[in-house]
Amino acid sequence: MRTLWLLHEMGLDFDLRIYPFGKALRAPEYLAIHPLGRVPCLEEDGLVLFETGAITEYLVEKYPEKGLGRLPGAAERAHWLQWLHYAETVAVHGATLTQQHIVIYEDRDRSPFVMKLERRRLEKALEVLDTHLADGREYLLESGFSAIDTNVGYSVYVARHFTPLQVFPHLAAYYNRLSARPAFAKSLPETPALFRQPFYDLRDDLAS
């Protein structure tokens, strides 16, 4: 979703191929593109690239006129890189919580301890963003919207399924700004593919 969002923000022409989670991602044809069978993947002019962060850097450098990167030499370059990679720090907690609450099918295989720990670690990671945004800035960099906002924004999109954003007022306002962008709306799945409910609370009902 975050790469799709970025492509829409950039206004590029592209063909989207959707691979549902499951066997399609482990088919030999797909493993020839991404050896781990994950999404996303970008193919352009014979180049095959995986890892969202790398795809982000590649796209903003290939299309500098879109203005969504902060290229080497730019004043905010170092912080642009910092938040690009921080997006993955947040995303990993979201991915673990997605696995615990949604992907794992049987209650006996879920861990209330992991759910609690990961929710706490996610909240600490969100707190850092909330504090950063507390000075009233609209987006992560003072110079305005860039590709790091699609990466971090996606991580917040996932995170809010597992922790209420209201306790982070600056982050909640930032997420509202991001989700009002037309390119964000275009990147959402037409039918809920993964998140079938808006919020997944802690599961204290599970045996420890």
Residues that bind ligand GSH (CB under 6 A): 21, 25, 37-40, 51-52, 88
CB of 93 to ligand GSH, least distance (A): 13
Nearer to ligand GSH, 10 or 41 (CB): 41
Smallest separation, CB 39 to ligand GSH (Å): 4
Contact by Cβ (8 Å): 8, 14: no
Nearer to ligand GSH, 52 or 150 (CB): 52
55-64 b/e (C-beta count within 10 Å ≥ 16 → b): bbbbbbeeee
Contact yes or no for 30/17 (Cβ under 8 A)? no
Least distance from ligand GSH to the Cβ atom of residue 136, Å: 30
Nearer to ligand GSH, 52 or 96 (CB): 52
**CA distance linking residue 24 with residue 11, whole number of Å:** 28
For the record, the structure tokens of 87 come out as 């997006």
Task: Indicate the DSSP class of residue 21.
Answer: S
Nearer to ligand GSH, 122 or 130 (CB): 122
Grouping H, G, I as helix, E, B as strand and the rest as coil, residue 50 is: strand
Q: Which tokens go with 122?
A: 């996610």
Instruction: Indicate the residue among 40 and 130 with the shorter CB distance to ligand GSH.
Output: 40
Instruction: Compute the least distance from the CB of residue 139 to ligand GSH, in Å.
Output: 21
**Which residues lie closer than 8 Å to 86 by C-beta, 6 or more apart?**
125, 128, 152
d(CA 170, CA 63): 31
Distances from the Cα of 196 to the Cα of 48, 102, 182, 192, angstroms: 32, 9, 22, 6
14 versus 21: smaller Cβ distance to ligand GSH: 21
Minimum Å gap between C-beta 205 and ligand GSH is: 27
Q: How far is the CB of 37 from ligand GSH (least distance, A)?
A: 6
Rg of the chain taking only CA atoms, in angstroms? 18
With beta carbons less than 8 A apart as the criterion, state whether 97 and 118 touch.
Answer: yes
